[in-house]
Amino acid sequence: VEASIPEPQRKAWLAHQTSGFKDKDGFETEVVRHVETTLARSMYNCDEQAAYSACSLAFRDRLILEWNRTQQRQTFADSKRVYYLSLEFLMGRALDNAMLNIGQKDVAKAGLAELGFRIEDVIEQEHDAALGNGGLGRLAACFLDSLASLNYSAWGYGLRYRYGIFKQEIIDGYQVEVPDYWLDFNPWEFPRHDVTVDIQFYGHVTKRTDDNGKTIATWEGGEIVKAVAYDVPIPGYATPSTNNLRLWSSKAASGEFDFQKFNSGDYENSVADQQRAETISAVLYPNDNLDRGKELRLKQQYFWVAASLYDIVRRFKKSRRAWKEFPDQVAIQLNDTHPTLAVVELQRILVDLEGLDWEEAWNIVTNTFGYTNHTVLPEALEKWSVPLFQHLLPRHLQLIYDINLFFLQSVERKFPKDREMLARVSIIEESQPKMVRMAHLAIVGSHKVNGVAELHSDLIKTTIFKDFVEVFGPDKFTNVTNGITPRRWLHQANPRLSELISSKTGSQNFLKDLTELAKIEHYKDDKAFRKEWAEIKYANKVRLAKHIKKTTGVDVNPSALFDVQVKRIHEYKRQQMNIFGVIHRYLTLKSLSPEERKKFQPRVSIFGGKAAPGYWMAKQIIHLINAVGAVVNNDKDIGDLLKVIFLEDYNVSKAEMIIPASDLSEHISTAGTEASGTSNMKFVLNGGLIIGTCDGANIEITREIGEQNIFLFGNLAEDVEDIRHNHTYGSYTVDPDLVKVFEAIEKGTFGEPNDFMGMISAVRDHGDFYLVSDDFHSYIETQELVDKAYRDQEGWVTKSIESVARMGFFSSDRCINEYAEGIWNIEPLAVKDQ
């Protein structure tokens, strides 16, 4: 690298090559320089916002040097790269993470203190980068952290939404959505106005035959939109490796600004064209586990996929290798089916633009892609109507038909005369209108398909993708259980716990190898250790109690059991069962004498999470939680025995405060519906216990930490289908305790009963699809076991320590290593320490 720097620039370059601050003075100098020059402000009126900006710019400068070196190192090594394609990257805040990963938070803390700032207040100034909905988007963010920390050559590719997930306000107990305009000042991105790709939409296809009798298809006409790259540096933890997340932003192509219109005075329309182009990357679709089939969403998908593939292919071509080596140089992971068009686009590039034979091209394609499935819920499986495809991407539709034809021919050879099988596995659903099944396309176009927890990976093989196991054999389908980054979810979110752990493990190495947590189990009977352990949890609860007071006005007692359910609001996640359980608890308390009440374990039930704006039932659930809170929290008979809190606008940065403060968290989805869950891992890693169903990763968590350390309840996945069948075709009665809950609601205990009838009749009159009534008794009983266990504080602390000690498996580092070995066939790049 150094040798390639031209002599005149060499001296200046060498002087520039230091990627850390020498000491706090060095850091302060940089902060002051940024305040006074970059921000053009004076230190006399430097407020916390300016301090945040300058501090971020100072760290960004350091990051960018390592980012450059990492990219050069990867280019020179000329080894295989992995590309993680995700429509969502739920990154949260960057500054704290950058300081910790670089290892200079102490320096910054001291420097900021000298300048008159508390580092916590400065960190708080940052707006979350919320380019995702929930678990799927946050998983992508954890993966980026692990890929960089483990020194893999990896890029993330996504969309640079102008508006991330909406901000949630609770007004009179109802969710109100407010747009999240987050780009006002974002020091963490670098616009690359020189890295652009023209993306085509609409138009038509012409075919001609060349001299060799080969058919050449050309996609012509339509409109062009420009994709502009914005790069976000991703620092690894305790390594100089800094990877790149490239986000595409849409812009009118230069030729598109219609000067004809402009000159003829039709200025407004020429501006409208411009805005239409920019609309593509304007908003994140706010649905979680739901596909709505909107045209603009398909445009987003193709825009992002086409720009990313152009970029990837351009990089490959620089290596001047033969096409057949493409899969040795490139692995592309499809985060759910959202980027599945990449399969078709790569085939189009190879066949239409590069002139490869179909077979050779298809071999390259299938060896390049891997597909991760994140849900079995039918309403979440993406389908696009054929007429929409025909209109927007006519050449891609033809290619899909060809891919499907060759695929079905191969199926027919294996299962002659099985028409039903052909219809079931076809990429095209023969409905009215016909639909393209994206999951089928993703399976056919990939060499590996994985689920995200053991149960889920088994389920996809036995239910939604059963036929494909017969067609391709079982080895194509595999499991990679999800993980979380311990850097953000322990070290950053819970610094005191991280500190205590490192004092016992002897170093911070557990943050790089989470299995080292096992060492703390030796201290589980150590008095001082246990005391410190309990004090840390208490302090975290005090901090959350302050936040609750500030944002809701409600006083909660930090000594009460904090029972937390924070995640997207969804019927399958069953927040309705939780709030029905809370009502049951309230009715029980009301029925007791003041003396009997005193024996009760005080609890704070804490909820948080966004409902998709169009999800009526989810919004009703939020409303009921708030309505119950309004009654319970003001009932003099109840006092501190029960409080019900809904925390507004749950997001990544709030999660970092809430998770370390929980005693118990709820992961209570109907068995077989939650693919994995990842917050379950975060809560346990922070010393909280779980009440949960035998679903997703709860099962593997139980296996690791031991049955005595988790509160499992409810029906099993294998029984759900029969129970549902019985609801529909047999008869069922609602659990008697739940009937009493319904009666209380219908009496108007929590306000206008009609506001909540949807939730009640879903259980009572519409087949109780999510088995709320079937699991209710078991849930209530298990909650009583929780109360009892919590009253034994010493026993509880033992459970907490044992659980944390046994969580090593759930690091996203382990998870990424499994992808690297089993799917991507890629090894880390050696990095010499500076």
DSSP 515: G
Residue 134 lies near ligand GPK (rule: CB under 6 A): yes
- The span of 133-141, 163-171, 307-315, 823-831 binding ligand GPK (CB under 6 A) equals 133-141
Question: Which sign does the torsion angle of CA 17, 20, 26, 27 carry?
Answer: positive
Q: How far apart are CA 461 and CA 480, in angstroms?
A: 14
CB of 680 to ligand GPK, least distance (A): 9
- 114 Ramachandran zone, left/alpha/beta (phi>0; psi -120 to 50): alpha
* 3-state DSSP assignment of residue 338: coil
Residue 135 lies near ligand GPK (rule: CB under 6 A): yes
Residue 682 lies near ligand GPK (rule: CB under 6 A): no
Residue 450 lies near ligand GPK (rule: CB under 6 A): no
- Using CB under 6 A, which of 609, 696, 714, 808 touches ligand GPK? 696
- Using CB under 6 A, which of 170, 253, 452, 681 touches ligand GPK? 452
What contacts 596, CB < 8 A, 6 or more positions away?
Answer: none
CB of 134 to ligand GPK, least distance (A): 4
In 83-173, alpha helices (H) = 95-102, 105-114, 119-124, 135-149
Question: What's the count of helices (H) and strands (E) in the chain, helices before strands?
Answer: 34, 24
For residues 164 and 203, which CB has a smaller minimum distance to ligand GPK in the complex?
164
For residues 99 and 159, which CB has a smaller minimum distance to ligand GPK in the complex?
159
- Using CB under 6 A, which of 96, 128, 145, 288 touches ligand GPK? 288
Residues 467-486 that bind ligand GPK (CB under 6 A): 482
Is residue 803 within 8 Å of 665, Cβ to Cβ? Answer: no
Catalytic residue among 299, 348, 487, 568: 568
In 633-678, alpha helices (H) = 652-658
* Residues linked to residue 251 through DSSP beta bridges, in sequence order: 226
CB of 448 to ligand GPK, least distance (A): 16
Catalytic residue among 62, 80, 299, 573: 573
- Angle subtended by helix axes 95-102 and 48-77, to nearest 10: 50
Please name the amino acid found at residue 116: G
CB of 135 to ligand GPK, least distance (A): 3
Residue carrying the six token digits 């949890």 = 537
For residues 380 and 644, which CB has a smaller minimum distance to ligand GPK in the complex?
380
- The span of 131-139, 341-349, 620-628, 646-654 binding ligand GPK (CB under 6 A) equals 131-139
466 is catalytic: no
Q: What is the size of the binding site for ligand GPK (CB under 6 A)?
A: 19
For residues 425 and 612, which CB has a smaller minimum distance to ligand GPK in the complex?
612
CB of 271 to ligand GPK, least distance (A): 35
* Tokens encoding 642: 């029960």
CB of 695 to ligand GPK, least distance (A): 9
* 3-state DSSP assignment of residue 816: helix
CB of 477 to ligand GPK, least distance (A): 16
* 3-state DSSP assignment of residue 641: helix
CB of 91 to ligand GPK, least distance (A): 15
In angstroms, what is the C-alpha Rg of the chain?
A: 28
CB of 636 to ligand GPK, least distance (A): 41
* Residue among 164, 104, 110 nearest 132 (CA): 164
481 is catalytic: no
DSSP 79: -
- Using CB under 6 A, which of 24, 374, 440, 623 touches ligand GPK? 374
Residue 370 lies near ligand GPK (rule: CB under 6 A): no
Residue 335 lies near ligand GPK (rule: CB under 6 A): no
For residues 336 and 735, which CB has a smaller minimum distance to ligand GPK in the complex?
336
Catalytic residue among 678, 693, 749, 782: 678
* Tokens encoding 136: 């799927």
Residues 749-808 that bind ligand GPK (CB under 6 A): none
CB of 682 to ligand GPK, least distance (A): 11
Residue 380 lies near ligand GPK (rule: CB under 6 A): yes
Is residue 250 within 8 Å of 160, Cβ to Cβ? Answer: no
Site string for ligand GPK, 647-676 (x = CB under 6 A): ---------------------------xxx
Catalytic residue among 69, 374, 476, 488: 374
Residue 136 lies near ligand GPK (rule: CB under 6 A): yes
End-to-end Cα, the chain, rounded Å: 15
599 is catalytic: no
| Residues 774/777/781/787 CA torsion (nearest 10 deg) | 90
Burial status of residue 157 (CB atoms within 10 A of its CB: 0-12, 13-18, 19 or more): buried
Report the DSSP pairing between strands 448-451 and 477-479: parallel
CB of 139 to ligand GPK, least distance (A): 4
678 is catalytic: yes
- Angle subtended by helix axes 757-764 and 772-791, to nearest 10: 110
Residue 289 lies near ligand GPK (rule: CB under 6 A): yes
Q: How far is CA 746 from CA 37, 91, 128, 633, 739, in A?
A: 64, 42, 40, 20, 10
Catalytic residue among 138, 160, 395, 567: 567
- Using CB under 6 A, which of 375, 450, 651, 715 touches ligand GPK? 375
- Using CB under 6 A, which of 91, 98, 99, 139 touches ligand GPK? 139
Asked, as a colleague might, if the bond just before 558 is cis with ω within 30 of 0, I would say: no
Is residue 439 within 8 Å of 380, Cβ to Cβ? Answer: no
* Tokens encoding 234: 């991703």
Catalytic residue among 448, 682, 799, 806: 682
* Tokens encoding 162: 């102008």
Is residue 810 within 8 Å of 677, Cβ to Cβ? Answer: no
Residue 339 lies near ligand GPK (rule: CB under 6 A): no
Residue carrying the six token digits 């502009």 = 228
Residue 678 lies near ligand GPK (rule: CB under 6 A): yes
For residues 133 and 662, which CB has a smaller minimum distance to ligand GPK in the complex?
133
For residues 278 and 454, which CB has a smaller minimum distance to ligand GPK in the complex?
454
- Using CB under 6 A, which of 92, 111, 677, 688 touches ligand GPK? 677
| Catalytic residue set | 374, 567-568, 573, 678, 682
List interacting residues with ligand GPK (CB under 6 A). Answer: 133-136, 139, 288-289, 336, 374-375, 380, 452, 482, 674-678, 696
